[in-house]
Amino acid sequence: MKPFNREELERLAFNIRRNVVSTIATNGEGHVGGALSAADAIAVLYGAIMNYSPQDLQHRDKFILSAGHKCLALYGVMAEIGAIDKAELKTYNKLGTRFPGHPDATKLPCLDFSTGSLGHGLPLGCGYALAAKLQGESYRTYVLMGDGEQGEGSLWEAAAFAAHKKLDNLVAILDENTLQINGRTSEVCKPTDFEGRYTSFGWSVRSVAGNDVGALYDALAAAPFEAGKPSIIVAKTIKSKGISFLEDQAKYHHWNPSRESADQALAELDSVAAERGWLE
């Protein structure tokens, strides 16, 4: 684990957002909302928490992006840590690309699993966490899920299994941006008391301000919260965080921007970069 440095992590999260928006601006479409809400959690994981090396797939910490449609944020961080060449993001979602609209582990060896069909990341994470226990390995497994995704029953089978097997090497992050593909999560599929639900399934639960790298770092660095229990961080986030005119609106789950809107979004990021001294 690297020492916490707020400025560096905020800049990494910003660079992820810029990669997300510029990839969409170049390619004309993409899942923007969930990538931008999860950017801070992904920045903290890759910038400060996880031990990883794309060359050593066996012993490093595992990360499963269960909500695979948020993958522009994952591609965005990979470009920042040097796991991929940023220029290749220009091929995003084109025929034959290594960067499709949902991540494909057969094309990118630094990925643990292909995801996109919601509800499978936590079961897969249980497998890694149990394997680590059985094999005496010290790596952790991190799984990032969405709040709409919590409607998938397979997650709750996995939640029960993880608690039963005392998988305290498993850390889930729930990106609770309160929106899913077609509206408020609370209006599409209640109940949304995720803290209460995971607690009742035997998990150790913390809620944090999910677009605050400091709060995310403190929670992730403290995991496991209780010995013998899997941990979950319920990250209270804003969908499309960072682009003011897209924030907190279900219709920007996926975005096909006009040239003007794309330029407006890029200009907003440029003004933040200028203010923070992050212009490249």
| Nearest to ligand TPP of 34, 47 (CB atom) | 34
Stretch that binds ligand TPP, among 4-12, 16-24, 67-75, 207-215 (CB under 6 A): 67-75
147 binds ligand TPP (CB under 6 A): yes
Segment lying near ligand TPP (by CB under 6 A), choices 104-112, 173-181, 216-224, 255-263: 173-181
| Secondary structure letter of residue 182 according to DSSP | T
Sole binder of ligand TPP in the list 118, 122, 243, 265 (CB under 6 A): 118
**Cα-trace Rg, the chain:** 18
Closest separation between CB of residue 242 and Mg ion, Å? Answer: 16
Distance of CA 264 to CAs 11, 21, 81, 120, 174, Å?
20, 11, 27, 36, 30
179 CB contacts (<8 Å, ≥6 apart)?
33, 147, 148, 185, 239, 248, 249, 250, 253
Q: Which stretch binds ligand TPP (CB under 6 A): 48-56, 128-136, 174-182, 259-267?
A: 174-182
210 binds, among Mg ion, ligand TPP, none (CB under 5 to 8 A by kind): none
From candidates 181, 209, 238, 273, binder to ligand TPP by CB under 6 A: 181
**HSE-up of residue 69 (Cα within 13 Å, Cβ side):** 21
Contact between 253 and ligand TPP per CB under 6 A: yes
Give strand ranges (E) for 210-262. Answer: 231-236
